[in-house]
């Protein structure tokens, strides 16, 4: 990784394709170098699971997440689980993309972190870039390299890490969402304008998402919990604060496949809410065992989350308890604080 650098062509591409990235940030990227021997500590826990700790300045270590996870997944399927092959992969992704296009879905490929390997994702993005015209469309990929290669739009939304860190540094879970949203908007001036809702649970988010903030953001992202209940809550919230839900968009990104996305779209139509979908693992890591094609070759369940900023613990309280992350004592403290305020379901 230490030999990976951004070329002048890379920086020029970002300058013209992502104008919301400041000149100062592009200059930082141009000079950035990974230093994994210093920044990363690797170990195995008592169950034999791989643990990584990445330490350093936030501006630097944040860039490790995507390449590390994709390399770990690729290594696992190259050396541990090798009972699979590429048979039928091109036909499968073409069928999935066509199904979504024909169902009028707008969707993006979000599969870099947990892809089977680069060859698979390259095949997937290439196929999606060549889908037939229809009522729906593939609007881009979160992989910037492949976006440039296949003349697609690089797309994405803010991650949990931003809100987790802001809340920890400011010392408030009650107002962590609103502080993070205001700082984000002040930086990007309306670009990247989809608000993530489940860093501390949806109830705490909507308590912070007042009319002023909701007017600044193009919509919200669903990443955990029941998507159908979420649609109802989003519709009710926008209506209550005097904003037409029809002017906003929900981006869904939680464990989607085409069938689920289509059913969610139909429910959004019932409530006159716009929607789009970020589909990751189902696009780039959907394989069967070569020895028994009736069995799934399961994708690795891997994640990297922020643990500390300075001396402050950072936590995530998902709408699904099993997806909570962070120091156990701090998670409990955050839950107690938000529950006492009536902000945690």
Structure tokens, 34? 């990974």
- According to the model, what pLDDT value does residue 236 have? 98
Q: How far apart are CA 297 and CA 136, in angstroms?
A: 30
- According to the model, what pLDDT value does residue 112 have? 98
- According to the model, what pLDDT value does residue 15 have? 98
Handedness of CA 120, 122, 123, 128 (dihedral sign): positive
Q: Which residue has the tokens 């979504």?
A: 100
Q: How far apart are CA 258 and CA 131, in angstroms?
A: 15
The count of other CB atoms within 10 Å of the CB of residue 90 is 13
Low-confidence ranges of the chain (pLDDT < 50): none
- According to the model, what pLDDT value does residue 37 have? 95
Query: Of how many residues is the chain composed?
Result: 345
pLDDT for 38-78, tens place per residue?
A: 999 999 999 888 999 999 999 999 999 999 999 999 999 99
Q: How far apart are CA 235 and CA 253, in angstroms?
A: 18
Closest CA to 181 of 168, 195, 170: 195
Q: Classify 4 in phi/psi space as left (phi over 0), alpha (psi -120 to 50) or beta.
A: beta
Structure tokens, 159? 């991650």
Using a 10 angstrom Cβ sphere, with 0-12 exposed, 13-18 middle and 19 or more buried, the burial of residue 250 is buried
Q: Which residue has the tokens 């089977």?
A: 116
Q: How far apart are CA 245 and CA 187, in angstroms?
A: 25
Q: How far apart are CA 194 and CA 156, in angstroms?
A: 9
- According to the model, what pLDDT value does residue 327 have? 95
Three-state DSSP state, 146: helix
Q: Classify 56 in phi/psi space as left (phi over 0), alpha (psi -120 to 50) or beta.
A: left
Q: How far apart are CA 277 and CA 108, in angstroms?
A: 6
Given a contact cutoff of 8 angstroms between Cβ atoms, the answer to whether 197 and 235 are in contact is no
- According to the model, what pLDDT value does residue 322 have? 86
Closest CA to 102 of 136, 132, 145, 58: 136
Using a 10 angstrom Cβ sphere, with 0-12 exposed, 13-18 middle and 19 or more buried, the burial of residue 314 is buried
Given a contact cutoff of 8 angstroms between Cβ atoms, the answer to whether 266 and 229 are in contact is no
- According to the model, what pLDDT value does residue 160 have? 96
State the Cα angle at 301 between 327 and 83, rounded to 5°.
150
pLDDT for 297-319, tens place per residue?
A: 999 989 999 999 999 999 999 99
Spell 182-194 as b/e; 16+ CB within 10 A means b. Answer: bebbeeeeeebbb
Q: How far apart are CA 252 and CA 219, in angstroms?
A: 11
Q: Residues with Cβ < 8 Å from 172, sequence gap 6 or more?
A: 179
Q: How far apart are CA 27 and CA 32, in angstroms?
A: 9
Three-state DSSP state, 106: strand
- The model's pTM: 0.96
């Amino acid at each position: 990784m230490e030999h990976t650098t951004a070329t002048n062509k890379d920086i020029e591409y970002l300058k013209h394709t992502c104008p919301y990235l400041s000149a100062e940030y592009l200059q930082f990227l141009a000079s950035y170098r990974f230093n994994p021997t210093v920044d990363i500590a690797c170990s195995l826990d008592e169950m034999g699971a791989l643990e990584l700790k990445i330490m350093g300045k936030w501006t630097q270590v944040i860039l490790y997440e995507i390449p590390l996870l994709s390399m770990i997944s690729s290594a696992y399927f190259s050396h541990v689980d090798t009972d699979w092959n590429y048979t039928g992969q091109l036909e499968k992704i073409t069928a999935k993309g066509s199904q979504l296009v024909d169902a009028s879905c707008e969707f993006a490929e979000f599969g870099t972190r947990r892809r089977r390997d680069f060859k698979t994702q390259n095949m997937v993005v290439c196929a999606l870039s060549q889908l037939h015209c229809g009522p729906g469309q593939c609007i881009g990929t979160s992989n910037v390299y492949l976006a440039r290669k296949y003349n697609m739009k690089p797309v994405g939304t803010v991650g949990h890490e931003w809100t987790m860190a802001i809340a920890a540094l400011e010392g408030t879970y009650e107002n962590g969402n609103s502080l993070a949203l205001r700082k984000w908007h002040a930086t990007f001036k309306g670009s990247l304008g989809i608000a993530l809702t489940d860093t501390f649970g949806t109830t705490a988010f909507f308590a912070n998402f007042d009319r002023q903030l909701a007017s600044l953001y193009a919509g919200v992202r669903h990443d955990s919990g029941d998507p159908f209940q979420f649609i109802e809550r989003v519709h009710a919230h926008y209506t209550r604060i005097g904003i037409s839900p029809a002017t906003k968009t929900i981006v869904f990104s939680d464990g989607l496949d085409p069938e689920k996305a289509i059913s969610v779209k139909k429910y959004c139509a019932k409530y006159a809410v716009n929607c789009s979908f970020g589909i990751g693992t189902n696009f780039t890591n959907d394989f069967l065992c070569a020895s028994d094609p009736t069995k799934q070759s399961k994708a690795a369940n891997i994640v990297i989350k922020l643990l500390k900023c300075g001396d402050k613990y950072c936590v995530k309280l998902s709408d699904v308890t099993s997806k909570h992350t962070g120091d156990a004592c701090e998670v409990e403290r955050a839950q107690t604080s938000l529950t006492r305020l009536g902000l945690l379901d």
